[in-house]
Amino acid sequence: MDFNGLFRVFLPVQRRKQRGIGLIWCLCFVLTGVHCMARGLTFETRELTIETTQGMLIPLSVEIARTDEERSQGLMNRKSLADGKGMLFVFEKDQILSFWMKNTLIPLSIAFISAEGKILEIHDMEPGNINPLHSSRSARYALETPRSWFVRAGVAVGDILQGEW
């Protein structure tokens, strides 16, 4: 076999190897994309009501964060959140809750809520602040809304979150 014959035999093998390497790279990009899409979680949405101590019923549409992964992502990287919308963080047991605003772009207010649905305390939080904000006592839930929504809606400490979540 001369050099040209050897080249003809070798070239298809090289092309197959290159095609195989290309397929491996393509598969890596696809899997990376699937992983990234999985991180862009889709939250369950519920319509809840807050009953004020004055007897008013305030509607609220919330996304529910139940799992560690959902709670970790929370409202990170969102550019807006409309009044009357929020995220309810659900925990398995009463505990001192701790939240920060890493990668959170919008100003929020947070209410710490008892297992019975009673609002225990409300705080404002600054976008990007990595200093943790702790509840002053054990709570089961935390509700994040646009900054000052609780005030605008007439919701205060002592009011009750109602609904199924």
pLDDT category at 32 given cuts 50, 70, 90 is very low
- Nearest-Å Rg of the Cα atoms of the chain is 25
Q: Which two tokens stand for residue 42?
A: 């889709």
Compute the distance between CA of residue 9 and CA of residue 12 in angstroms, rounded to an integer: 6
Average predicted confidence (pLDDT) for the chain: 85
Cβ(118)–Cβ(160) below 8 Å: yes
Sign of the four-CA dihedral 79, 126, 66, 156: negative
Quickly state the pLDDT bin for 78 (edges 50, 70, 90). Answer: very high
How far is Cα 110 from Cα 59, in angstroms, rounded to an integer? 17
The DSSP symbol for 103 reads T
Higher pLDDT, 23 or 71: 71
Band (12; pLDDT cuts 50, 70, 90)? low
If pLDDT is split at 50, 70 and 90, which confidence band does 19 have?
low
User: Considering the entire predicted model, what is its pTM?
Assistant: 0.76
The least confident of 4-8, 34-38, 74-78 is 34-38
Q: Is the confidence at residue 34, as pLDDT, over 90?
A: no
Which residues, 6+ apart, have CB-to-CB distance to 113 below 8 Å? Answer: 119, 120, 139, 140, 141, 142, 143, 161
Least Cα distance to 86 among 133, 36, 141 occurs for 141
